[in-house]
Structures are given as C-alpha cells and as structure tokens.
Amino acid sequence: MSVNATQLIHQIPVDPLTGAISVPIYQTSTFVQEAPGVNKGYDYSRTNNPTRETLENLVAKLEKGSTGIAFGSGLAAIDAVVKLLKTGDEIIAVDDIYGGAYRLFTNVYEKFGIKVQYVDCSNPENIFNAVTGNTKLIWIETPTNPTLKISDIKAIAAIAKASSCLLCVDNTFASPVLQQPLSLGADIVIHSATKYFGGHSDLIAGIVVTKEKELGAQIKYYQNACGAVLAPFDSWLVIRGIETLHLRIKQHCHSAQAIAEFLATHPAVAKVYYPGLPSHPNHHIAKSQSSGFGGIISFTLKTDTEATALQFVKQTQLFKLAESLGGIKSLISHPANMTHKSIPDEKRRAAGVADSLLRLSVGLEEAEDLIADLKQALDTIELQANHHNSKKLATI
Ligand SMILES: *Cc1c(COP(=O)(O)O)cnc(C)c1O
C-alpha cells in the first residue's frame, strides 16, 4: 500500500531537454508564443509553469490521484476546495480540525452562506447522523491535531458516496508515504506541503490532489482564476523535499514510536496520545489504513497545570518551542497557549486539549538523544512536584 522509495525517487523526471538530473527552475512569468495561442504548452506562469507542473504531477502520482494542483500555502489549497461549494451548501468537518481551516470556514465562508457542522469523526456514525440534504463536503483529518484521533477513511468514504457528497482528507500529518486516502475512497486530498513534503521548515506551500480528472480541472480553474499559485522556486524546494520524504518519514515514525513508549512509562506523564500505541482507542484502524503512525505525539502531565507545561517547554533543549511540524529539528508546542489559545478554556478542555497537553513533532535527531532530553525535563518537574508535596505534608 505504501509508496516504495525506488518508485518515489524515479518518479521525479530527468529533464528531457538537457538531461539535468535536478528539475530545472523555470523562473519566468511568461512564455514566447509562435502565433497567438500557439505555444509549447505554457503561456503565463499563473496558469501553468513547468517546475510547478512537475511537482503537481509528482504529488498526484504519490497520492494515486489524477490531478495535482499546487498553491502558495496549505490554507490556499483548502480555500480552493471550499470554492467548489455555493451559498446554502453545508460542510461536515472533524471537530478538532486545523485551527486555520476552522478560521477560514467560520470567519470567511459562513458569511457567504456556507454552513459547517463540527463532529467527532472517530465514530463514522456521527457523520452519518449529521448529513442533511445540503451536505456537499465532508472534511476530515486523520490523525487529528493535537489529540491524534483516528477516523476510518473507508467507512466515511462510503457515507460520502451514499450521500452524494465529496470526501476531502487533509493528509498533512500522515503523508502519502503512510496513507493514501484516494485509494480508500476519498475524492480529494490536501496537504500543507509546508510540513513533511518540504521537510526542512524553509517554505510555505499547499497541494490539492483529486481522484477524478473533472474535479481536478475545476480546482485548477480556481487556481488560475484566484491566483494563489506556488512560485517556481518554492515548487523546486518541495520537489527536493519529496526526494527524501520516504527516508525521513521512516525515521520520524521509528523515533516517535520509541518516544511514545518511553513517555507512557514515565511517572510524571498522565496520558500519551500516539496512534502507534496499542492503548490508542483506534490503533487497529490506524494500523489497517496506514503503513506507519507518523512523527507527532501529544501527552499530558500528571500535574495538569499550565505552569508545569510552561516550565517543561523551557526545560527541553533539543525540542525547540515553535508552531508547525514535519521538519528535521524536533519541535514542542503547548496548544493551550499557542494554536488553541483563541478557544475558550472550557471548550478547549472538553475537546481533550488539557492545560498541560504538549505536542511533539519528532525530528531527525537520534531517538536516544530525544528521549534523554525529554527524560531530564520530566525528571525535573517530577522532582519539583515531589518537593512541593513533601513541603505541603510538612506544613500539615
Ligand atoms: C499547517 C497545516 C495546514 C495549513 O497549512 P499552511 O501551509 O500553514 O497554510 C493545514 N492543515 C494541517 C493539518 C496543517 O498542519
């Protein structure tokens, strides 16, 4: 089911014109025409650019789709998919959806009369029950952020088919190396290529891949009509990132599994969220629909306070405090104070984002070094908690 490294590497074409082994960057706005409308397949780089096209075809192949369409950000890719809808249409979206997608749906599209219902998609029945005659699009992420919930893509695709609506999967967290939603029945896949595709935390990009050509042509129309295209140089950077995607994902998964297992045994940790742990409620679904569990782990602390979490993120050395994920350097974030800050406390806690929840993006350092870093930070807060408790006991 997963993409083989040999196939991945050889799907990146050698330049037919010169034999260049690296894809050429066509840094040009326009293309000279022989006569009006007579050209070599390109006329203006917003409409089509050879470097961008190479990336688009490559990602379409990796996702086993017909059409790839590259945008200036993951959000621009999401935006292009929503543009398929019109006033009165409804979206059913996963409840712990990426914050930027929530903001786009709520603050931009609701005013155009597009309604969104948010449901827990880890039980497909919730989607089935939410479908109305106006539902046109089901939007899921699996795993989700930051609580790593898993949704059954095949079961949800069947509900989408039966309800004549489209299923779009944001496949950013898994990447096509681990999971190919179009093969499981989804109609559209989107990616924030800023994350694992780029892989080096040095660009912002987004991709849409459709299963069917016709749907791909519609989104390609919006790409050109609305203009949020990916630049030739950034397209080249994403291609270069993809060259090592297979290798990087393998290492991310390997280290993340070891780290999740370590965290699960540490006395200062309350709960670990990682689909690769058999204790994860949908571990069996993750195992059946993907060939690995990814590089993102969340966990909560026994001392479930914001202060302890903030102390923890100051204490880690290799895990750098930053938003985003999928790069070579390990990152740590505190969702309650960062990505989920705008959500009211009670609502945030109800969604499983506890005060002490921490999210790790496991990078490409040695797993044992990453574990040692987490261990010293956990031991420090554990020591302080014990000290605090013994002081309390002494004063009783
Ligand atoms: C980052 C992210 C996005 C948005 O992508 P940008 O490239 O930042 O616009 C969308 N979905 C998920 C799951 C993400 O992590």
pLDDT reading at 81 higher than 60: yes
Nearest CA to ligand 1 atom 5: 74
The secondary structure of 243-259, three-state, reads HCHHHHHHHHHHHHHHH
* AA letter at 89: D
pLDDT reading at 388 higher than 80: no
157-187 pLDDT, tens digit each? 999 999 999 999 999 999 999 999 999 999 9
**Token duo for residue 121:** 């998609």
Q: What angle do CA 99, 95, 201 make, to 5 degrees?
A: 35
> What's the pLDDT at 335?
94
Share of the chain above pLDDT 70, in %: 98
Q: Which listed residue (98, 109, 222, 273) is catalytic?
A: 98
Record the pTM: 0.95
Q: What CATH number has the domain spanning 245-388?
A: 3.90.1150.10
Q: What CATH number has the domain spanning 14-242?
A: 3.40.640.10
Domain coordinates in residue numbering, the chain? 14-242, 245-388
Strand order in the sheet with 135-141: 67-71, 206-210, 188-192, 166-170, 135-141, 90-94, 115-119
Q: What are phi and psi of 256, to 5 degrees?
A: -60, -40
Looking at residues 22-34, what average pLDDT do you find?
97
> What's the pLDDT at 2?
61
Looking at residues 359-382, what average pLDDT do you find?
97
pLDDT reading at 1 higher than 50: no
Residue bearing the bigger pLDDT, 5 or 55? 55
Q: Which of 108, 192, 197, 359 to mutate to test the pocket of ligand 1 (most atoms within 8 A of CB)?
A: 192
- The rounded Å distance from CA 173 to ligand 1 centre is 9
Number of H helices, E strands in the chain: 14, 12
